[in-house]
Chain A
């Protein structure tokens, strides 16, 4: 008894430490931290492009088109002689914003739909899933094209169009994951205790159904950035002078054989982003699971 009394202050210190626990588990995962560092750098690039490269990404040097890396142009120049490094740094802002925003929207809507459908089942499930089926039946690119064509060419519309294409995948993944958790005994125990459906979904079902959703976030992010390039390819992406990785990639596609570096640098940028988010996502998934050993 005496001993237990003494341990009380320790408990107080530890009480709100769930977040710290997660952070500690995450920090032990070196690859995940590496991913976080890359994301951090990308965010810095996105926030301060003019300080880290040239302030103007439209400066042309037509005498110097398709040049390779040099002291003046670190990553060479593009088809109009614009500095590739500057454009990649500035493109970070556009690509990350569109990618993250569209995935965030798709995730919020898709996870909500999937959770409701999976948890309640029955008629609601059928109705929601048929709506999702309709979304799935239209190819993402076609969906994007029609929305951009209808609503005009702006970043907001683009984000919306890409998000809409991702909703189906999110709700499908969430639904199947929720269904496996829904019938577990601890959910029944919560119901026996008197927990409301909302509480069960939020505190019991979602945390335990999270792993596949996080994986879906990382894959969707990559898909979204590439989707922008698809839309740019048909001229519905980001308006012309604004640098964006996807459009840079698709512009360079035609001259890939003669100037492979043109396609390589934006490609590496996209790859690095996706890679970083994948590492981060995996680490986050593991850190959120208390069952894994510290």
Chain B
């Protein structure tokens, strides 16, 4: 098996007072071992829910998750604990994801203690080693998170995720709460760690430049559904879905004189509560016609490794059938 993670038709619905909210709807993807899948999309499109559902922080509604060749869709409490040794998560906000009552060493030791990996002197050694790995000075051993800046706190979060030497880490916008200068440091650290420990990342973000830097593949989500999924360089050159086009057009270019043509999205977002059988982007799509409001598009492999869910992908992009 070269794919570490395989997700098939994953669905996660939330019950709300106004009805069933389709947070993640029929999403399928694979992540090869040692690679990074970047997941992008606007706020509320279900990227975080997807990440959390994959590692069982939310109970899925339906679908299948294969991890390392094993079906982990339905696991009991005991299996889940064993599973979490291999799947960890780095959280978005390093200010609220660390227990304020624990010191740096306690925070990093926590996973090791939970899984009874080591104790006493050995524990201390391991914690110091981990601090070294993520670039935390050892004098911070007894500090508390509130005494540290965002970058250092996120390093604690990374050290915690690494403590059990997992195979797979879900990174839920790990840098979006940080300053730009620190973002680069953390991203580089994560890339170095990936190489060193053969980690597989699922990298959730809304920052296109970050995702381009770190990802091997990119999946674009819109209102709980996958709209486009392909190689990360490909998406910057050859994007087929109208939403992806608009999304990438919205990325600012750091050049004063260059003016680029922007396709702006207009119209209302479809409600994620009880969406009908339609393309969820139809209300905002300039190319939408009758069929878009009648049928949910299925994902198609337009060219090898490039999946798009759009009824009119060929006409829009002047592609021929079976290209």
Contact = CB atoms under 8 A, between A and B. Distances in A.
Given A7-B139, A192-B84, A193-B114, A291 B146 contact: yes
Nearest to B87: A192
Contact of B84 (A14, A18, A186, A193): A193
B110 A185 contact: no
Interface string B63-104: 000000000000000001100110011010100111111110
B236 to A, nearest CB: 32
A294 to B, nearest CB: 10
A185 B96 contact: yes
Contacts, number: 77
B12 to A, nearest CB: 16
A84 to B, nearest CB: 46
A235 interface: no
Given A189-B91, A199-B114, A194 B84 contact: yes
Contacts of B146: 290-291
Nearest to A10: B139
Contacts of A191: 57
B139 A208 contact: no
B137 interface: yes
B276 to A, nearest CB: 32
B97 A185 contact: yes
B101 A194 contact: no
B115 interface: yes
Nearest to B83: A194
B142 A186 contact: no
Assign chain B's interface to a size class.
20 to 34
Contact of A194 (B81, B103, B142): B81
Contacts of B144: 290-291
Contacts of B185: none
Contacts of A290: 100-101, 103, 144, 146
Interface in A102-123: none
B93 A185 contact: yes
A195 B110 contact: yes
A15 interface: yes
B93 A195 contact: no
B91 A7 contact: no
A193 B101 contact: no
B141 interface: yes
Interface string A46-83: 00000000000000000000000000000000000000
Interface string A217-249: 000000000000000000000000000000000
B57 A193 contact: no
Contacts of B100: 186, 208, 290-291
Interface in B28-56: 55
Interface string A185-207: 11011111111100100011001
Dominant secondary structure at the A interface: helix
B9 interface: no
B160 interface: yes
Contacts of B6: none
Contacts of A289: 101
Interface in A147-200: 184-186, 188-196, 199
Given A193-B84, A195-B110, A199-B114, A184 B138 contact: no
Given A185-B96, A290-B101, A193 B88 contact: yes
Given A186-B97, A290-B101, A291-B100, A193 B110 contact: yes
Contacts of B80: 194
B138 A186 contact: no
Contact of A190 (B99, B124, B137, B138): B99
B96 A184 contact: yes
Given A14-B141, A15-B124, A196-B114, 19 more contacts: A4-B138, A4-B139, A11-B141, A15-B142, A17-B142, A188-B57, A189-B91, A189-B160, A190-B110, A192-B55, A192-B84, A193-B84, A193-B111, A194-B84, A194-B115, A195-B110, A208-B101, A289-B101, A290-B103
Interface of A: 4, 7-8, 11, 14-15, 17-18, 184-186, 188-196, 199, 203-204, 207-208, 289-291
The 4 closest A-B pairs by CB, nearest first: A194-B84, A185-B97, A185-B96, A192-B89
